[in-house]
Amino acid sequence: MKRHIRGISAGVCVLLASLVIVLLWRWNRMIVALERCVFICVDLFFLATNLLKIPHGGWFPLVVALFVFTLLSTWKRGRGLLQQSVKAAGVDLKSLVVRLAAEMPLRVPGTEVFLSDNPDTAPRSLVQNLAHNKVLHERLPTTTVIIVNQPYLHPDHGAQVTPLGENIYRVLIPYGYMEVPDIPRALYESRPGDQDLDPMEASFFLSRETIVTGPGPGMTMCRKHVFAWMANNAESASASLHLPANRVVELGTLVEI
């Protein structure tokens, strides 16, 4: 089995080296193809000899790999369908602010932070809060975490605060993919509305989706059930975003995929 894995790794290395030689080093493609064929033939020989081990136990790691790949691909595809469903039912944030300016609900002292996946769409927790409680706090930053394609960001890359009117702000907080988001600290440093934000006095509103399966396209029904099980048992965003547990309000919503 170790030889089998080494054979596959060697084949992948040959293909990657070919891309580097052709795309970056700009070698003649015909010469590269002839030279790479020699290595590929050797790798295919090792692969063919190791295929004989599959009936004698080599099938087990292949089944495990297929199972893990199915879970990961189901999660990725399901998240895409979930985002499409949420976006289709979403409300434009700027349009909502205009509507609030015309018919402003009761404003009470304090700060409420609404977390959103899309900075241009009103957070679902905000829409639900208006529908159920019909009240807003004096200061309202809608916050979106953006993960960039860099491991770490320089400290100068702080949050971007955009006033939308009516003391409502859109806050974009960038993080590298190796960094752990800390929303309270980022909001404290960004000072939306030019005022200090005490995380222990603000209320953080999250929307927690409960996935239900439907007949729509995109995935088979079996994979939809697997994704619904994974999503409904996933860790709450409040823990991964370092939100104070006693200041978090989660509003549930049903989303069909």
pLDDT at 10: 56
d(C-alpha 109, C-alpha 177), whole Å: 36
The structure tokens listed for 241 are 């975003």
Q: Which pTM was predicted? A: 0.69
Residues 102-116 have pLDDT tens digits of: 888 888 888 888 888
Tell me the mean pLDDT in the region 83-88.
78
pLDDT at 11: 55
Number of domains in the chain: 2
- 80 lies in some domain: no
- What number of other Cβ atoms are within 10 A of residue 192's Cβ? 24
Would you call 89 helix, strand, or coil by DSSP?
Answer: coil
d(C-alpha 114, C-alpha 4), whole Å: 51
101 CB-near residues (< 8 Å, 6+ apart): 165, 166
d(C-alpha 193, C-alpha 183), whole Å: 16
Say if residue 170 is in the same domain as residue 247: yes
d(C-alpha 243, C-alpha 199), whole Å: 8
d(C-alpha 147, C-alpha 130), whole Å: 29
Q: What is the distance in angstroms between the CA of the first residue and the CA of the last residue of the chain?
A: 40
Mean pLDDT (the chain) is 81
The structure tokens listed for 91 are 């409300």
Say if residue 130 is in the same domain as residue 25: no
- 11 lies in some domain: yes
Which residue, of 57, 74, 100, is where some domain finishes? Answer: 57
- 75 lies in some domain: no
CA Rg value for the chain: 25
Instruction: From 98, 144, 90, select the one nearest 253 (Cα to Cα).
Output: 90
- 224 lies in some domain: yes
- 78 lies in some domain: no
pLDDT at 236: 75
With b for 16 or more beta-carbon neighbours within 10 A and e for fewer, the 83-119 pattern comes to eebbeeebeebeebbeebeeeeeeeeeebbbbbbbeb
- Residue 68: band (very low, low, confident or very high) from pLDDT cuts 50, 70, 90: very high
Say if residue 221 is in the same domain as residue 151: yes
Residues 227-245 have pLDDT tens digits of: 888 888 877 777 777 788 7
Q: What φ, ψ does residue 231 adopt, rounded to 5°? A: -70, -40
- Do residues 235 and 247 make contact, with C-beta atoms less than 8 angstroms apart? no
Higher pLDDT, 113 or 28: 113
- Residue 69: band (very low, low, confident or very high) from pLDDT cuts 50, 70, 90: very high
User: 21: domain range?
Assistant: 1-57
Report strand pairing: 160-165 vs 135-148.
Answer: unpaired
- 174 lies in some domain: yes
d(C-alpha 122, C-alpha 96), whole Å: 7
Say if residue 146 is in the same domain as residue 205: yes
Say if residue 52 is in the same domain as residue 94: no
The structure tokens listed for 222 are 């079996």
- What number of other Cβ atoms are within 10 A of residue 56's Cβ? 7
Say if residue 194 is in the same domain as residue 103: yes
d(C-alpha 226, C-alpha 228), whole Å: 5
Say if residue 44 is in the same domain as residue 101: no
- 69 lies in some domain: no
Say if residue 35 is in the same domain as residue 119: no
4 pLDDT above the threshold of 50: no
Q: What is the residue-wise DSSP string for 110-177?
A: EEEEEE-S-TTB--HHHHHHHHHH-EEEEEEEEEEEEEESSS---TT---EEEEEETTEEEEEEEEET
- 70 lies in some domain: no
Which residue, of 57, 76, 104, is where some domain finishes? Answer: 57
Which residue, of 57, 73, 99, is where some domain finishes? Answer: 57
The structure tokens listed for 229 are 């099980």
